Structure 1
Amino acid sequence: MARLLLIIGGGIAAYKASELIRLARKAGHEVTPVLTAGGAHFVTPMTLAALAESPVYTSLWDLKDETEMGHIQLSRAADLVLVCPATADLIARMAAGIADDLATTLLLATDKPVVIAPAMNHRMWLHEATMDNVARLKSRGIKVIEPVEGDMACGEYGPGRLPEPVDIMAYLAKEFSLPFDAGALFPAPTVPPTAPAADGSLKGKHILVTAGPTHEPIDPVRVIANRSSGKQGFAIAAAAAAAGARVTLVAGPVSLPTPGGVARIDVETAEQMAAAVDAALPCDAAILVAAVADWKVQASPTKLKKADGPPQLRFEPNPDILATLARHPLRPGLLVGFAAETQDLAANASAKRQAKGADWIVANDVSGDVMGGSHNQVRLVTAEGSEDWEEATKEAVAQHLVSRIAEELHRPGSQDRPAAE
């Protein structure tokens, strides 16, 4: 097994570092995260520490570590150094030999193989300066995992997207003979008998789905979470893929198999989910099924002890993904939110649709066993009114919703909907 030193640069793709750590740990490797100041804007040390089961290093000026020349020890203790994501700025500083923070100092001090995984806007990637810097790094023996083409967080398209974490791990496994069996970690999913036929009604459409809960850390071992199983969101993603759509599924921490034909992005926190949703744009329709925690807390860096008494938690609001997406310059043509209610279903769902700026709200009563159950009964609320659907399996609800979405996207003028009503 390998000891991996992971340097996380300051780009929106930094959220994928969490999944990369999870995959590496599942394969039996040790991961020591080094978080740059920019990277800390996208992922938290708490999340990385919990996933890596290792301290997260952020500063060159840690007195305890640097009295023993900690940056030298870190750089030499690893078997491999991976910079992911490597931003244009970080690549430029590496090429110039600058050592003005912990990450760049480690990179100069290491005597181990270094791999970078660039991620940036496609024009930045293709700029002559970046190409020159990358060529200089390659000439020094640094290996480069080339970025892939795709939609950018800025709304443009081109080469510059960070490859998926599973592909990065597969590259490292092949290049350095590291143990990593993607097939064992991601067995081929079986399609349930109730899966819809591939009717092609969403062919050429990009559908974004969020599913599952989010986990907001309290300390390294405790979280605040919602009781969502993710089953309804995964069923919707499966139905959309079967209808011919290109589907991006942003999933919270659930243990469900990935539906066939679906591109899955795993996240933990609401902030990570918000970043992943933004990075997946543009899309034709977004169905936000995830039960996102409304609040986060200022997490303790160490485990809270029972003997110290009940902790005083300070709550802060999480990003409102649905409302943010409704105001986004790349707002989907159809924006569908979900409302889990225990009372006043119709009134609360209608109020939520208007307050958030969503086109549709799918409301369900969760006072029973819906959270984790196999059946669901929903009410669809639109600008034209509302309709109650009969109780059915979550797969059947997904198929019916996807059929309605396909009808709406093919309706003349459906893409001209204003950003908010």
Structure 2
Amino acid sequence: MPNVSASNDTICAIATPPGRGGVGVIRISGPDAFELARRLSARAPEARRFFLADLRDDQGEVIDQALVLGFRGPASFTGEDVVELQTHGSPVVLEMLLERLVRLGARRARPGEFSERAYLNDRMDLAQAEAIADLIAAGTAQAARAASRSLEGVFSRLVDALHHDLVELRVWVEAALDFPDEDVDFLADGQVAARLDALRTRLDELIEQARAGRLLNDGLRVAIIGKPNAGKSSLLNAMTRRDSAIVTDIPGTTRDVLRETIELGGLPVTLADTAGLRDTEDRVEIEGVRRAEREMHAADLLFWVVDIEDEAAHLPPGLPPELPFIRINNKIDRVGREPRREGRSVDLSALEGRGLDLLEQAVREVLGLQSDGGGEFSARQRHIDALVKAREPLDRGARELAATGSGELLAEELRMAAEALAEITGRMSSDELLGHIFSSFCIGK
């Protein structure tokens, strides 16, 4: 539950994007929302009923004609009394109306303040509030669907269920500690260890889902690596469907990192074509290789491009062991082979554009994304950090239980894990965290 209180003042803001449009919306929220609307339109709003009104300035001159719609709290977005003014979408008109509302006693809202009030008034949890910003910023249809699922509470329910079971297990452990003379010793008979292992497995699955959700939200960074003339630039051109990179049979043609952004199976992807990896005396090419190596370490995924006739190809040394990669055996057109995929290996022809659909399948499989997008939800790095933070005390507790058979330390570790999960939905939150999250929202949300 939120640990701070919503403000008692009334706020207002433009809820539509900047610029001219057919319709502009001003949102008002707070205890005086209905009274301010009455003074602006000379008519008291009725809950959930539109009416058409002339909105007037201090001298009684008409600023604009608008539709006025009211919502009584707590049955509103913010949980407070809310009024929306649907006017013509002139920036000048909207600003005149905002100034009029401020003179009547409202305050201009901070970025994200409407969503913050919805959270503080228990209209949604913190993960759902963040999903609003993710939905607004979604760059693909699949990212929008994932954000919508988080807004509906899909992610929150998974976190809450895990939190509930952690607390329940902690109760079991503390009961065994408080009543050691009971006939059933839960710590000794393996029930606690089994339930703890099940919780760790569920948490691992949720971490993987959240990582996939972050990629849908933030996009995927892919570094295209390989030896000179393996076909890296040809692959970039094939995936972007234009001649983004210069392609020649001269080794070392690509000297710098070339980036292009595409949509791959509903996922926003930034492709980075890098210099061919090889030992060289050319100072410019040496710098290109250095930049390629830097790009590899910053990527979420590697496309390792190999000439299909190069039997001695091997991954470059020094890569982070957890960094996923897909081996792309290129130039099947030279050996008369058809496209195929086997696990993380794809045979294709970048020159002819054959086999790119198999590469897309491999990307989704490696990242744990479902082919139909079902069940996916948006997530942020903050959520992943909290999940990993919850995993660490569970691991320590499992080791302690296995080594000593005692639950004294396990109970404390379970408490710490539950607190880490509570940070995701806002059951435990600080003013500093809330300020950081909601400051990234647009004004009017």
For CA contacts below 8 A with separation 6 or more, give which structure has more relative contact order. Answer: 2
Instruction: State which structure, 1 or 2, has the greater radius of gyration over its C-alpha atoms.
Output: 2
TM class, shorter-chain normalised? under 0.3
TM-score scaled by length of structure 1: 0.23
* TM-score normalised over the length of structure 2: 0.22
